[in-house]
Structure 1
Amino acid sequence: MSRRKLSRRQFVAATALSSAALVTAPYLRTAHAAGNLTMGFWDHWVPGANKASTDLVNEWAAREKVEVSIDYIPSQGNKNLLTIAAEAQAKSGHDIMAMPTWWPHAQAELLEPMNDVVEPLIKLNGEVNGTVKYLGRAGDKWLGVPSCVGSQIKGPCSRIDLMKKFANIDVQEMYPEGAPPKAENWTTDAFLKAAEACHKGGVPFGIGLGETSDSVDTAGAFFQAFGAEVVNADGNVVVKNDNVRQVLEYYKRLMAFLPPDVTAWDDASNNRWLVSGKGALIMNPPSAWAVAKRDAPQIAEQCWTHGFPVGPKGRFAPFLPYFWSVWSFSKNKQAAKSLLTHLSQPDSIAKMVAASGGYDLPAFENLTTLKTWAEEGPPKGTLFHYPNPYNHQKLSIAASPAPPKVAQQIYTQATLTKMCVRFYQGEAMEKTLTWAEGELEGFMRS
């Protein structure tokens, strides 16, 4: 963890302030306020991305004359999650914490309501997607402000050349630069046929079936494409249904065309698979493409990020949002809310997206067509469809619509991928479903 102490004196006086007015009233320095604000932000993997956040915080601090300090906390080794848990237990720590996916719900009782920040931002920036509401709100209480930093879609990243050569699919024609998708024929059946063709060509799809996030996210999107709920929104265990049986049969066929070691893959495995030139498609945000751009430019030039295949119940894509949350024990809640409003202005978001090379995704619908995604390359336009600019697919998260605290356990325990692997390895369908039923009932009791 690197601590970076920032002060007003470090702020460059010539920095231009945005002309856009803040949605909420600016922070007022009163006798009640401490005059200091601390934040624990996610330590971005993209070089330079942290600097954009720092500059924006400094800009706000100079105007409001607040002393601020930032800890950039890495997610490697779950250091960010350990920090969240430690501060929750101690009821002391940063004023603002960046919290991924499930963690606002996990700490809901200790978080300051953020309705007075989020609701005006929605009016300014457009509606947020359903997954942000599912993860960021408990009843009528907003648990955090949707953060573009760290938020991502894990969609297909395909090799243009290999998909053409072996699967006879032109991904650029299907998802054209600067235009709506033409993907009516991009179905789960077409996906399966393409996986088979690329496997025969010696460049299999790199889709993990391990127990880490990338594998679980992909399985979750396919389960939803088949309408395969394992726990419903009311919290009932419903895993023994025909839609679940159908998706397990689908995965059994798909796994025959994947690399033989995918059951042991972690979140770095699919990245390495693409960058090494061994595969024709992975499911990932643009991180693998960004690494290829640096280390294997001839591969990066052939990468195209696009939408998920559509299944019997629709087209879904995994969306993993981050939130900026304020602890209820924060000593400077008013200042925290003012800063988060500043960070959520369109100009601020555009700067952070640009600094991340298009990796970071705002949750607001009016901010899905920023110029960064149209201009990034090579090839130019490779990220145009990454932010889902035409609402072509429903952004979702694995294990939803189960109540979030139950869904978090399904997700963390990789129940969906374990079901797929057990059935693929020869376990009888009903035995797999009975095993899953027992697991899910245990999550309900815990």
Structure 2
Amino acid sequence: MTTRSLTRRRVAKTALATTALVGMPFVRGAHAAGSLSIGFWDHWVPGANKATEDLVKEWGEKEKVETKIDYITSQGNKLLLTVAAEAQAKSGHDILAFSTWLPAEHAERLEPVNDLMEPLIKQNGAVNATVEYLGKQGGKWLAVPATVGSQIKGPCSRIDLMKQHAGIDVQAMYPAGAEPKAENWTFDTFLKAAEACHKGGNPFGIGLGITSDSVDTIGAVFHGYGAQLVDAKGNITVKSDAVRQALDYYKRLMAFLPPDVPAWDDASNNKWLVSGRGAMIMNPPSAWAVAKRDAPQVAEQCWTHGMPAGPKGRYAPFLPFFWGVWNFGKNKSAAKSLLLHMSQPSAAEKMVAASGGYDLPSFANLTTFKTWAEEGPPKGTLYHYPNPYNHQVLSIAAAPAPPKIAVQIYNQGLMTKMAVRHFQGEAIDKTIAWAESELEGFMRT
């Protein structure tokens, strides 16, 4: 594509055309055109990449910037390895997708994007606290929260089995098109439902392995008890009544789960739902989408809804993706202009639709797109997936520990390991002492 320079006057005009809120140019230099290299996460949903490709093409043609997109899979940690390699080489893509913990890890190499985030928050509403915890340090926004890849891992329940075994109508509790009626949806109710479904032959499928789905679930339960392994200042706080309560709860819950859940990975709970054996799993709509294809009789009985509430509140596991700009990039001005374009409500809605409702914008005002109301079967099954009524706190396991410590707690599956050790008969004080020793090791590294 032929390229031409963008003057400061033209950039200001472009930014204003993209969003009425922006009254200043984002481009600092005199030349915003040229070429732009982009590394996006390779979406699992067939056809979802096309939406981002179309948005980039639309922007590139308008701004006369030549664009090149690489789609990078997260399988085999290829995305993580790509980020690490480019950070070390100080060369690579102008824009790169960063999964949950990576912006904090590479904070010193990322171009601050306050000039994007401040007007976007004014336009699209506040971002949730987890996005700020992961994407902002020392008053500087490290990256822009991406619609693509961001997800909530809440309950996906079988409508029929929850009614049959537990006497719970999940559609009435989380009605499509209306606010939740979930005052009685608590940890105690959840435990009783798990017991009833286990007795009925359709146990909940909640993993206790060390991969993301298992860690995310237990992290939300720990938050529901106010249980922290390390506080925001970096102090080890694992020896607490709240941690003991969370471990005791998981010991009781695990008695009603499939016996092999300590060995589950992120595919296991999906398979459990699609097989028809499970009454509930914790997952974004990916398992339901697979069921639509492979087991439609299961899919038509699925309902995605909110988490149960613990003594300290209702927390849901949230994993955001980000789009970042390297501070050594060759075309930072154009990169920021494109990210502004891709963060508009109309762009987010296209990406949500292309993913079948899987992808989630992180801004408060972008939670009511028609995709979530209309997707089915059954129609409305995803209505409460994006948390449209701010019914629950979107959290991430191991917060509020400083991210460099939290990521080790997360990646090592420390909380699930604690739960399994205690369930298998280890005294709770011994389990906590073991965890304290592990945390001390994390501090040293």
The TM-score range, normalised by the shorter chain, is: over 0.9
Aligned twin of 1:100: 99
Matches within 5 A, 1:398-437: 398-437=397-436
Structure 2, gaps ≥5 residues long? 4-13
Q: Quick one: which amino acid aligns to residue 123 of structure 2?
A: L
Q: Quick one: which amino acid aligns to residue 410 of structure 1?
A: I
**Residue 64 in 1 paired to residue 31 in 2?**
no
Separation in 2, partners of 1:140, 1:29: 20
Matches within 5 A, 1:81-120: 81-120=80-119
Q: 1:26, 1:338 within 8 Å by CA — same for their partners in 2?
A: no
Aligned twin of 1:133: 132
Task: Please list the CA deviations of residues 206-243 of structure 1 after superposition, one character each: whole Å capped at 9, or x if unmatched.
Answer: 00000000000000000000111110111100101001
**Residue 295 in 1 paired to residue 294 in 2?**
yes
Q: Quick one: which amino acid aligns to residue 410 of structure 2?
A: Y
Aligned twin of 1:390: 389
Separation in 1, partners of 2:216, 2:245: 18
Separation in 2, partners of 1:31, 1:328: 17
Task: Please list the CA deviations of residues 176-206 of structure 1 after superposition, one character each: whole Å capped at 9, or x if unmatched.
Answer: 0100000011000000000000001110000
Separation in 2, partners of 1:116, 1:26: 9
Q: 1:8, 1:62 within 8 Å by CA — same for their partners in 2?
A: no
Aligned twin of 2:252: 253
Aligned twin of 2:221: 222
Aligned twin of 2:6: none
3-state SS of paired residue (2:216): helix
3-state SS of paired residue (2:320): strand
Over 4 Å off, 4+ runs: 17-20, 23-34
3-state SS of paired residue (1:37): strand
- Quick one: structure 1 residues 20 and 359, their matched pair in 2 at CA, closer, same or farther if it must change by over 3 Å? farther
Separation in 2, partners of 1:373, 1:141: 32
Aligned twin of 2:337: 338
Q: Quick one: which amino acid aligns to residue 343 of structure 2?
A: S
Q: 2:94, 2:326 within 8 Å by CA — same for their partners in 1?
A: yes
3-state SS of paired residue (2:309): coil
- Structure 1 residue 444 displacement after superposition: 1.2
**Residue 162 in 1 paired to residue 161 in 2?**
yes
Q: Quick one: which amino acid aligns to residue 197 of structure 2?
A: C
Separation in 1, partners of 2:177, 2:138: 38
Aligned twin of 2:360: 361
Q: 1:95, 1:330 within 8 Å by CA — same for their partners in 2?
A: yes
Aligned twin of 2:18: 21
3-state SS of paired residue (2:310): coil
- Structure 1 residue 38 displacement after superposition: 0.5
Separation in 1, partners of 2:15, 2:380: 28
Separation in 1, partners of 2:28, 2:431: 60
Aligned twin of 1:121: 120
Separation in 2, partners of 1:26, 1:103: 28
Q: 1:29, 1:35 within 8 Å by CA — same for their partners in 2?
A: no
Matches within 5 A, 1:184-333: 184-333=183-332
Task: Please list the CA deviations of residues 22-51 of structure 1 after superposition, one character each: whole Å capped at 9, or x if unmatched.
Answer: 354677797645601001100000111100
Separation in 2, partners of 1:122, 1:47: 30
Q: 2:146, 2:320 within 8 Å by CA — same for their partners in 1?
A: yes
Q: Quick one: which amino acid aligns to residue 145 of structure 1?
A: V
Q: 1:8, 1:61 within 8 Å by CA — same for their partners in 2?
A: no
Q: Quick one: which amino acid aligns to residue 242 of structure 1?
A: D
What TM-score, normalized by structure 2, do the two folds share?
Answer: 0.95
- Structure 1 residue 21 displacement after superposition: 3.1
3-state SS of paired residue (2:319): strand
Aligned twin of 1:147: 146
Aligned twin of 1:3: none
- Structure 1 residue 442 displacement after superposition: 1.1
What TM-score, normalized by structure 1, do the two folds share?
Answer: 0.95
Separation in 2, partners of 1:172, 1:340: 37
- Quick one: structure 1 residues 163 and 8, their matched pair in 2 at CA, closer, same or farther if it must change by over 3 Å? farther
CA RMSD of aligned residues (A): 1.7
Q: 1:195, 1:254 within 8 Å by CA — same for their partners in 2?
A: yes
Structure 1, gaps ≥5 residues long? 1-6, 10-16
Q: 1:8, 1:58 within 8 Å by CA — same for their partners in 2?
A: no
- Quick one: structure 1 residues 142 and 43, their matched pair in 2 at CA, closer, same or farther if it must change by over 3 Å? same
